[in-house]
C-alpha cells in the first residue's frame, strides 16, 4: 500500500508535468501574456525550434495548454493555458515566494525588488 501510494504520489504526478527544462518558463510566459511560438523563444538563446515544439506538444498532451488555430489563417496559432494549466498558478506563486523569502541576505533581490516582484506575480497569476 505504501508502494501503491508512492507510485501515484500526487507530488510526483505534478512534477512529472513540469520538471522538464523549459516547461515552467513557458508557463510563466503564458501567465504573463505570451502566446506565440516565436515569442516564447525571446530571451532564451538556446531554446531550439525542436525542443520548443516538443515541449509545447507534451504540455498539450498533459492538458496544461491548448493549441488554437485561427480558422481563417491556419498559420495564425496561439497557445493558451487551459483550466488545468491555470490551476498551476499557486505552485508558481509559491516557487516565486520561496526564492524571495529565503533570500534573506538579499543576494539575488533587494528588499525593494522583493516587494515589486511579489506584486507583479500576484497580479499576473491571480488576475
Q: Which positions from 59 through 98 interact with its own copies, judged by CB under 8 A?
A: 84, 87-88, 90-98
Backbone angles phi and psi of 88, in degrees to 5: -85, 0
Largest CA distance in the chain: 54
Among DNA, its own copies, none, residue 54 binds (CB under 5-8 Å by kind): DNA
Q: Under rule CB under 7 A, how many of the chain's residues touch DNA?
A: 24
Q: Which positions from 31 through 90 interact with DNA, judged by CB under 7 A?
A: 36-39, 45-51, 53-54, 56-57, 67, 75-79
Minimum CB distance to its own copies, residue 71 (Å): 29
Amino acid at each position: 500500500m505504501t508502494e501503491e501510494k508512492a507510485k501515484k504520489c500526487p507530488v510526483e504526478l505534478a512534477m512529472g508535468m513540469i520538471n522538464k527544462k523549459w516547461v515552467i518558463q513557458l508557463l510563466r510566459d503564458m501567465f504573463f501574456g505570451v502566446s506565440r511560438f516565436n515569442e516564447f523563444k525571446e530571451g532564451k538563446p538556446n531554446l531550439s525550434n525542436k525542443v520548443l515544439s516538443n515541449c509545447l506538444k507534451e504540455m498539450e498532451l498533459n492538458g496544461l495548454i491548448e493549441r488554437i488555430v485561427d480558422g481563417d489563417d491556419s498559420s495564425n496559432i496561439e497557445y493558451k493555458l487551459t483550466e488545468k494549466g491555470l490551476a498551476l498558478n499557486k505552485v508558481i506563486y509559491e516557487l516565486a515566494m520561496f526564492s524571495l523569502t529565503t533570500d534573506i541576505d538579499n543576494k539575488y533581490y533587494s528588499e525593494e525588488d522583493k516587494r515589486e516582484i511579489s506584486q507583479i506575480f500576484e497580479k499576473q497569476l491571480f488576475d
